[in-house]
């Protein structure tokens, strides 16, 4: 069974750094693009960026470029989303999702990681 398992809930203060993870299982992790999607409280879905774990080719949606870093370690089947300095506006649920093999829709999703940033 294809699964994406995300790291747990985080509560952070503004200015702190954070790295959350998404571990894939049940498929060849290196050969499928992984996306990170933000959902702010009560709002819709926003694609942040995607990464191809096989060679770490990474593409960001322009509004998220420079705000976060997406990375992956194919040796442990894990993708990451990282912030160097959190803001209150980063409070959201973050989902990782596996793209379809050929086309850019998302077949399998992680359970989500809630990040709360508050002083």
Question: What is the separation, in whole angstroms, between the first and last Cα of the chain?
Answer: 40
| Contact indicator for 86, 12 with CB cutoff of 8 Å | yes
Q: Could you tell me which stretch among 13-21, 54-62, 71-79, 84-92 binds other proteins (CB under 8 A)?
A: 54-62
Tokens of 65: 């470029």
Total number of residues shown for the chain: 119
- If one asks whether residue 45 binds other proteins (CB under 8 A), the answer comes out as yes
Per-residue binder mask for other proteins (CB under 8 A), 8-27, x = binder: --------------------
Binding span for other proteins by CB under 8 A among 16-24, 68-76, 78-86, 102-110 = 102-110
> In angstroms, how far is CA 13 from the centroid of its own chain?
20
Q: What is the CB neighbour count within 10 angstroms for residue 99?
A: 17
Nearest-approach distance from CB 105 to other proteins, in angstroms: 4
Site for other proteins, rule CB under 8 A: 44-47, 59, 61-62, 95, 97, 100, 103-107, 109-112
């Amino acid at each position: 069974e294809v699964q994406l398992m995300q790291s747990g809930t985080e509560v952070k203060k503004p200015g702190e750094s954070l790295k959350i993870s998404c571990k894939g299982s049940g498929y060849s992790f290196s050969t499928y693009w992984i996306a990170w999607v933000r959902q702010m409280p009560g709002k819709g879905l926003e694609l942040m960026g995607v990464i191809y774990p096989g060679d770490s080719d990474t593409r960001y949606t322009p509004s998220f470029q420079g705000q976060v870093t997406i990375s992956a370690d194919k040796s442990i089947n894990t993708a990451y989303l990282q912030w160097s300095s959190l803001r209150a506006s980063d409070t959201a649920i973050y989902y990782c999702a596996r793209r379809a093999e050929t086309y850019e829709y998302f077949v399998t999703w992680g359970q989500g990681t809630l990040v709360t940033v508050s002083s």
